[in-house]
Amino acid sequence: MKKILFIISSLKRCGPVNILFDIIKYVDGSKYTTHILTLRSEEDDSRWNEFVDLGSTVTKLDIRGGFLWILSVLRLRAAVDRIQPDVLHCIGFRADFLASLCLNKHKKLSSQLNFPFEDYVMTYGRVVGGGMAQLTAWALKRHDVAVACANDVAIRMAGHGVPCRVVYNAIDIELFTPPNPLERQNQRAKLGIPSDIKYVFIFVGVLTDRKQPLIALRAFLRFKEIHPDAILLILGDGPELKSCCELIQGVDGVVFAGRVSATLPYLIASDAYIATSKAEGMPLSVVEGMAMRLPVVLSDIKPHQEILAIDPQAGVLARTGSVDETFQAMIELVGSDLIIRGAHARNIVEHELNSKVMSMKYQGIYAELMT
């Protein structure tokens, strides 16, 4: 059988690791064996054992900084040579950069799960983040194939001299079964949400300027003037938490659940999903909400437009950064049939943003690189 080697920083539970898990879960075991090299020590909430249970061979290199980093590069090359993979699949900045330095004799591809010239700058600052983005573009030109998580990311990467194919980020739909009305009511009771509440919105994400939680909150407060019993669930933590708490002082109906290990119980209890981000790759938290048959209110960034272009009935777009248009979008959404819109949302995930489809598309690329 052919060997696929995945290189990634670590297996701590997060978006890129979840994508990797779903790719491997649906790999054709009659054709491929899967191997993983991680580049640094595991932290809490690692999925290492879950990958082993899938049948993958997992090896940790624990690459350090300084002079030891140079030695670690040699260790990486030696580890890859021992495995003798037919294809390398790199995920993340470290993997992309190191593979471009010392693994150029191997066929390799990279998954770009965000737009680095935007995401890295927002996360690490203009100097460090901008440098990382430039290095990413340099590295990807030395890969055989670069894969973008959305058409918008592919178009923008092409502007930096990196042509990309597109494979949508996706989720394992088997893990997301929409609730019936009784199950939703039971879950609301467990979370302390009164049974007579008509509209429960949910926001999921790190509370940073990139995710724009204050826009969602201000729009919700206006919505609450018309629907006083509405509730907004906010799942996440971050630097804007204090500002969010100050904004809602004396206001009932906003629940800060913090950073939770499982969003599913909160999605089950919700009627609609709201995302006001000003930058995303392909937002999996939005996709998870849609898989639970939640219609969506989304900022009009390109990835969100891309999702609703598949089926516009799944939700409503609002101008990014606009409290007024986000509020109007919420009003428009609840003025329609949420059940019908939710069915359209689920349909998008079943047919386009399903991890089985994602894995099959990657396997097609692996087979192409092996010929």
User: What CATH number corresponds to the domain at position 184?
Assistant: 3.40.50.2000
151 with 181, same domain: the answer is no
51 with 166, same domain: the answer is yes
Residue 285 in tokens: 């938290």
pTM value?
0.84
Q: Let me know the angle formed at the C-alpha of 138 by 134 and 140, rounded to the nearest 5 degrees.
A: 115
366 with 252, same domain: the answer is no
Instruction: Flag whether pLDDT at 256 surpasses 60.
Output: yes
pLDDT tens digits for range 302-347: 999 999 999 999 999 999 999 999 999 999 999 999 999 999 999 9
3-state secondary structure of 38: strand
Least confident among 213-217, 218-222, 278-282: 278-282
147 with 86, same domain: the answer is yes
19 with 69, same domain: the answer is yes
């099959």: which residue's tokens? Answer: 360
What is the number of structural domains in the chain?
A: 2
Q: Which residues contact 47 (CB under 8 A, 6 or more apart)?
A: 11, 12, 13, 17, 21
The size of the chain, in residues, is 371
- pLDDT, residue 45, reads 86
127 with 229, same domain: the answer is no
239 with 142, same domain: the answer is no
273 with 330, same domain: the answer is yes
Domain that holds residue 300: 173-351
pLDDT tens digits for range 44-100: 889 999 999 999 999 998 776 555 666 778 889 999 999 999 999 999 999 999 999
160 with 180, same domain: the answer is no
